[in-house]
Structure 1
Amino acid sequence: MELARTAAIVTGGASGLGAETAAALARQGARVYAFDLKDSIDAVRGTTAPAGVEYVEVDVTDAESVRAGIAGVAAGPEPLRVVVNCAGIAPSERVLSRRGVHNLDTYAKVVGVNLIGTFNVMALAAEQIAATTPDAQGQRGVVVNTASVAAYDGQIGQAAYASSKGGVVGLTLPAARDLAQHGIRVMTIAPGIMLTPMMETVSEEFRAGLAAGVPFPSRLGDPGEYAKLVLSIVDNDYLNGEVIRIDGALRMAPR
């Protein structure tokens, strides 16, 4: 899939994995629309946006917000070819603790953002991608969703997060099969512990402890490595319907 003179959408594109991916896609010649919430975009408004990246206020849990954002992209001069879903939240709460039962609203919110939001963006974007002219190989686009190693090794307190990311893993193959007739590939990346802005708020000692648990290389993942994997998926037309872990062979302990 060629990126030059095409449009790409990255959700959660104002920070972390999303921001790094948006910049990487733009450097390859794509016009990138970084979807994110107003607060997240406001936090970076004082900085210079990477060349080729435009911030768009979109709530992935709101179908009309997503539909409007995607319609704006589709109305542009470049065909929409790439969608990367990075938007997500990760509150921690046990199923049952001294404070009581896991808050159902919290559980629903995590699933709503991480799983339903991912599906919502993918489905509505696929509708627009399917209307574009295919390339010589019959391709129209590729969707890259973001799961987590927690989908396989969910830790104590990650019931909601692991459930939502497990859903993204389970979505991968049927979505790829559904969209194959439209020339749209679907892949998922399952990151391990990445050095995102949230992780940078904890102490160096705590980060070092996490890094020590990674077999090799024994460090936290860099968002740029996630972005490179996205570019590789976009470039390799035979990757479809699969989940790729990027975690240094990490298998998470219970806590």
Structure 2
Amino acid sequence: MTQESQTGESFISHLVELRSRLMRAVISVIGVFIVLFLYPGPSVIYDALAQPMLASLPQGTRMIATGVITPFMVPVKVTLLASFVIALPVVLYQAWAFVAPGLYKHEKRLALPLIFSSTLLFIMGMAFCYFVVFKTVFHFIASFAPESITPAPDIEAYLNFVMTMFLAFGITFEVPIAVILLVKTGVTTVAKLREIRGYVIVAAFVIAAVVTPPDVISQFLLAAPLCLLYEVGLIFAAFIKKREAEAEAQELEEI
């Protein structure tokens, strides 16, 4: 067998493995979606998602749907989003299982904790957005509405806003993971990352100004956690590098 044929077979086997992992990830999301669709149902899930907005509206006010099929499609989209979040550990595990054969032993030991922590941090970011940011921002915006106006947000516009905010805060809470990976892979050092702390703070507020609504509170609620989590990442990265240095020193002593 020639080297070219071996390379071709290896490439095909990788494609087959990739398809298998993708199918398992999709099946896990669809499975959770079917369960949530049957119970508690898309309407209940959307009502829970809309609760922060409804709490800020005048009593008796409801949200509106301007599209013909919007009352059906928006709750289904929310249920699909919830299904993906619940199945996220399985999706990330399938991604890890695909790349694991090409990793070294010490890289495999790092991969699983990173998958677990990144999933947990992303969900924590969404929870912070739902329980803290939405409640604060919606009440702040409602307090500025003139008495002659009755707010009645469209459910599709609300869903787009919520998904953007969830994504922004979920990614923001991944900052410690990004810092650890940058240091762990040797791209940079903890000392250099500490030197650019001022630039990171400025960038955090610029990103918050672009992603969040044009009010100071929501911008601060995104920028402040980003800066804080950056510092948390530096602490953990320094701890990991210290442990690695101690392990290397111990190995040299044994030799």
| TM-score after normalising by structure 2 | 0.25
Greater percentage in strand: 1
Larger radius of gyration: 2
Greater percentage in helix: 2
| TM-score after normalising by structure 1 | 0.25
